[in-house]
């Protein structure tokens, strides 16, 4: 019998036949798909014909179709609807896949053919997109070390293996420190805490088999404790434990690991011919160079720090009124900021929720896409992997554009967070394929399901990613949709969040679940005002972390990262009462793996762009300005990674992004 994942699906829109797939089908399907891909790669590498764009680069693009199918289906269910069998499969698949792809990038014969096409590029009369795909293919091989030989090649292999071990150790040490520490709380210590914090502290106490409630280092517990506990001594103890994660001495200390990681990264970059790890890392990003990153961060730093210092004075005055003298400390900030927020923006979440019905917010996200891009959404009745999933056919002028799937509700089988992925990405080569795009969220179920304001923003955010996939209009899948630089990929999603804040959108779609009344203007203003609260603090703690990350990787690796961190913070004039959002011994973004190393800045980079891009609409006459919408689709949403991110932004905006709109949006300068 044919494996249903590998068979011709014969379903509407060629969506995976989830109702016919059993968990036992995944492993044999992956086995077969890997073998097929291996054979395809061997045929390209060992071809007797002279290398050409078609028989090397296009052949690589066309290869792996079966693998795409298997992984598209598997990772969808493994993330959104897992079970023990799927978890086992995932553990087995990840080293298999890592080995498969590193075998391809280490294939010398294959790289020689890619390099030959690259050398001949001037004479090949390629389209712009083809030149780009060739450049990306060649660069990918070179960056993974394919051009190295002899001792350098062997050393690179050792470095990669050692870095993988160190990254895992870093994560495990951090988890151990977070798991082991707790602080007993008496009934008296719970006074002043909201019910949800005391309930969580009691539950944590039971889990730790303690005599009573406890405080742990779980973010969802310690952050509200720092915000609400009137006990300054307990806040100090909890805060000190929180910032000591990974730096407690002994077996779980991460400081020596951080130092070794930085040295190995520097060596790795040098083997590949880069003058620093940051230069190597930023080569593929829109930012391109460490100087440009630092420049942007420093433009944000100065006004953020000024705002934080002003806020610190207000909070210090509040503290003194409580009879506490001396400076405001880091364990005081959250507490007094929470009290100030309540006084200034008293926003009743419970009263807000009935205005944010999930179904109405989905309608709102569709309605904005209709006004901006002419997209229409028709519900589809098809079998998916879970009864909570919903699907729509997306059309424009009667023509099929994509299938959009929404899987909105939290459940035990779903990992936390929210994400967008393409079960099938848009492409025209080797055949035309329309995208199948899914948004997965973790909203509470209800009748009707109601969202918090943050939830509603998440819905719009993920739908922005979905639009990037659905409106993609390129030839090659490797540059389709969200296959763009890391510091560019959040532009469409963060930009789309702005439409939720357009007053006419909320006025139409934020209607009360029972009365049908639109949200009162006063409530709307409070929602938007509260979103900007304490931005001096938030920006300072984030930018300080991003600048330390950059300093670690730009230039020679510091032998003592803690000393380097202290030096950077002193140079910046870090406010006394604010700590880094992530300090070195627990900076998992930077040390648990390579993903955000010298890349932690990218959240801010994207935010600068989304604020600046939305300002383009406002300057042009409003959030739904048709010319701006057309330009956004033509230059950014349809182009994927087929051109340099900077060129795309320039084409859309006519200039590079400036920080002014972000500073105004965060309330760091006057609007």
Which active-site residues does the annotation give?
Answer: 462
Task: Return the number of the residue (268 or 414) whose C-beta is nearest Zn ion.
Answer: 414
Q: Minimum CB separation from Zn ion for residue 418, in Å?
A: 8
Q: How far apart are CA 452 and CA 517, in angstroms?
A: 18
Phi, psi of 436 (to 5 degrees): -120, 115
Q: Minimum CB separation from Zn ion for residue 605, in Å?
A: 13
Q: Minimum CB separation from Zn ion for residue 568, in Å?
A: 28
Task: Return the number of the residue (493 or 584) whose C-beta is nearest Zn ion.
Answer: 493
Task: Return the number of the residue (18 or 488) whose C-beta is nearest Zn ion.
Answer: 488
Task: Return the number of the residue (252 or 493) whose C-beta is nearest Zn ion.
Answer: 493
Say whether 410 sits in a helix, a strand or coil. coil
Helix 453-470 / helix 491-500 crossing angle, nearest 10 deg: 130
Q: Is 640 left (phi over 0), alpha (psi -120 to 50) or beta?
A: left
Task: Return the number of the residue (478 or 493) whose C-beta is nearest Zn ion.
Answer: 493
Task: Return the number of the residue (174 or 471) whose C-beta is nearest Zn ion.
Answer: 471
Segment interacting with Zn ion (CB under 5 A) among 243-251, 307-315, 490-498, 535-543: 490-498
Q: What is the DSSP string of 254-277?
A: -HHHHHHHHHHHHHHHHHTT-SSH
How remote is the C-alpha of 496 from its chain's centroid?
Answer: 15
Which secondary-structure segment (H or E) carries 438?
A: strand 436-443
Q: Minimum CB separation from Zn ion for residue 465, in Å?
A: 6
Task: Return the number of the residue (493 or 638) whose C-beta is nearest Zn ion.
Answer: 493
Segment interacting with Zn ion (CB under 5 A) among 103-111, 136-144, 486-494, 560-568: 486-494
Segment interacting with Zn ion (CB under 5 A) among 16-24, 485-493, 538-546, 660-668: 485-493
Q: Nearest-CA neighbor of 295 among 666, 658, 669, 670? A: 658
Q: How far apart are CA 90 and CA 561, in angstroms?
A: 35
> Please, are residues 623 and 501 in contact by the beta-carbon 8 Å criterion?
no
Among 130, 357, 458, 493, binds Zn ion (CB under 5 A): 493
Determine if 130 is a binding residue for Zn ion (CB under 5 A).
Answer: no
Residue 531: C-alpha distances to residues 231, 314, 358, 453, 465 (Å): 27, 19, 20, 9, 22
Segment interacting with Zn ion (CB under 5 A) among 124-132, 179-187, 493-501, 630-638: 493-501
Which secondary-structure segment (H or E) carries 216?
A: strand 214-216
10 Å CB burial of residue 19 (0-12, 13-18, 19+) is exposed
10 Å CB burial of residue 237 (0-12, 13-18, 19+) is middle
Q: Minimum CB separation from Zn ion for residue 419, in Å?
A: 8
DSSP-derived letter for residue 286 is S
Helix 561-572 / helix 535-553 crossing angle, nearest 10 deg: 130
Segment interacting with Zn ion (CB under 5 A) among 20-28, 217-225, 492-500, 620-628: 492-500
Q: Minimum CB separation from Zn ion for residue 631, in Å?
A: 22
Task: Return the number of the residue (89 or 613) whose C-beta is nearest Zn ion.
Answer: 613
Q: Minimum CB separation from Zn ion for residue 40, in Å?
A: 32
Task: Return the number of the residue (196 or 419) whose C-beta is nearest Zn ion.
Answer: 419
10 Å CB burial of residue 597 (0-12, 13-18, 19+) is buried
Residue whose beta carbon is closest to Zn ion:
493
Q: Which residues of 20-33 are buried (b: 16+ CB within 10 A; e: fewer)?
A: ebeeebbbebbebb
Residues in binding contact with Zn ion, number by CB under 5 A: 1
Segment interacting with Zn ion (CB under 5 A) among 303-311, 489-497, 583-591, 615-623: 489-497
Q: Minimum CB separation from Zn ion for residue 489, in Å?
A: 7
Q: Minimum CB separation from Zn ion for residue 459, in Å?
A: 12
The torsion angle over the Cα atoms of residues 669, 302, 235 and 581, rounded to 10 degrees, is: 110
Q: What residues have CB less than 8 Å from 547, skipping those under 6 apart?
A: 294, 297, 301, 568, 572
Q: How far apart are the first and last CA of the chain?
A: 66
Q: Contacts for 157-165 with beta carbons within 8 Å, 24 or more apart?
A: 159/264, 159/267, 159/268, 159/271, 160/268, 162/260, 162/264, 163/261, 163/264, 163/265, 163/268, 163/594
DSSP-derived letter for residue 557 is P
Segment interacting with Zn ion (CB under 5 A) among 169-177, 285-293, 311-319, 488-496: 488-496
> Please, are residues 255 and 247 in contact by the beta-carbon 8 Å criterion?
yes
Task: Return the number of the residue (585 or 665) whose C-beta is nearest Zn ion.
Answer: 665
Q: Minimum CB separation from Zn ion for residue 485, in Å?
A: 14
Binding site for Zn ion (CB under 5 A): 493
């Amino acid at each position: 019998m044919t494996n249903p994942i590998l068979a011709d699906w014969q379903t509407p829109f060629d969506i995976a036949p989830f109702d016919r797939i059993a968990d036992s089908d995944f492993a044999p399907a992956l086995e077969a798909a890997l073998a097929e891909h291996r054979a395809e790669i061997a045929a390209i590498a060992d071809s007797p014909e002279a290398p050409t764009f078609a028989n090397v680069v296009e052949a690589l693009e066309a290869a792996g179709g079966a693998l795409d199918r298997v992984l598209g289906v598997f990772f969808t269910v493994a993330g959104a609807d897992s079970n023990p069998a799927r978890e086992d499969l995932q553990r087995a698949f990840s080293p298999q896949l890592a080995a498969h792809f590193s075998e391809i990038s280490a294939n010398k014969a294959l790289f020689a053919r890619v390099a030959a096409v690259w050398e001949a590029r001037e004479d090949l009369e390629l389209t712009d997109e083809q030149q780009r795909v060739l450049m990306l293919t060649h660069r990918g091989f070179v960056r993974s070390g394919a051009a190295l030989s002899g001792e350098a090649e062997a050393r690179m292999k050792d470095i990669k293996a050692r870095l993988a071990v160190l990254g895992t150790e870093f994560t495990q040490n951090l988890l151990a420190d977070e798991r082991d520490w707790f602080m007993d709380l008496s009934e008296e210590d719970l006074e002043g805490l909201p019910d949800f914090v005391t309930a969580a502290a009691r539950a944590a106490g039971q889990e730790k088999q303690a005599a009573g409630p406890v405080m742990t280092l779980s973010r969802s517990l310690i952050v509200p404790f720092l915000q609400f506990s009137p006990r300054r001594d307990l806040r100090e103890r909890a805060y000190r434990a929180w910032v000591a994660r990974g730096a407690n001495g002994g077996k779980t200390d991460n400081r020596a690991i951080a130092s070794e990681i930085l040295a190995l990264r520097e060596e790795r970059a040098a083997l590949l011919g880069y003058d620093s790890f940051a230069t190597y890392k930023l080569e593929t990003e829109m930012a391109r160079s460490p100087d440009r990153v630092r420049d942007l961060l420093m433009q944000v730093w100065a006004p953020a720090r000024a705002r934080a210092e002003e806020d610190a004075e207000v909070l210090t005055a509040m503290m003194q009124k409580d009879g506490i003298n001396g400076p405001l400390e880091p364990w005081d900030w959250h507490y007094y900021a929470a009290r100030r927020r309540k006084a200034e923006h008293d926003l009743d979440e419970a009263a807000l929720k009935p205005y944010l019905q999930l179904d109405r917010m989905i309608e709102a996200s569709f309605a904005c896409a209709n006004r901006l891009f002419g997209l229409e959404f028709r519900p589809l009745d098809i079998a998916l992997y879970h009864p909570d999933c919903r699907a729509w056919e997306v059309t424009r002028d009667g023509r099929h554009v994509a299938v959009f799937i929404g899987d909105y509700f939290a459940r035990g089988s779903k990992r936390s967070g929210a994400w967008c992925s393409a079960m099938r990405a848009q492409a025209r080569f080797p055949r035309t394929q329309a995208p199948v795009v899914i948004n997965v969220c973790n909203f509470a179920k209800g009748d009707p399901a109601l969202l918090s304001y943050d939830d509603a923003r998440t819905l719009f955010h993920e739908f922005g990613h979905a639009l990037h996939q659905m409106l993609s209009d390129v030839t090659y899948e490797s540059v389709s949709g969200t296959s763009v630089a890391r510091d560019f990929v959040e532009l469409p999603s963060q930009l789309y969040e702005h439409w939720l804040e357009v007053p006419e959108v909320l006025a139409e779609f934020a209607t009360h679940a029972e009365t049908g009344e639109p949200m009162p203007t006063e409530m709307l203003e409070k929602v938007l005002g509260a979103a900007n609260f304490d931005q001096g603090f938030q920006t300072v703690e984030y930018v300080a972390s991003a600048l330390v990350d950059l300093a670690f990787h730009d230039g020679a690796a510091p032998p003592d990262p803690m000393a380097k961190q202290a030096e950077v913070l002193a140079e910046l004039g870090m406010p006394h009462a604010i700590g880094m959002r992530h300090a070195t011994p627990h900076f998992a973004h930077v040390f648990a793996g390579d993903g955000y190393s010298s890349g932690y800045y990218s959240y801010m980079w994207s935010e600068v762009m989304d604020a600046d891009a939305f300002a383009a609409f406002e300057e042009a006459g409003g959030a739904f300005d048709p010319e701006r919408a057309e330009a956004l689709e033509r230059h950014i949403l349809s182009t994927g990674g087929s051109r340099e991110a900077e060129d795309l932004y320039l084409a859309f905006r006519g200039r590079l992004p400036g920080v002014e709109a972000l500073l105004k949006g965060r309330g760091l300068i006057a609007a």
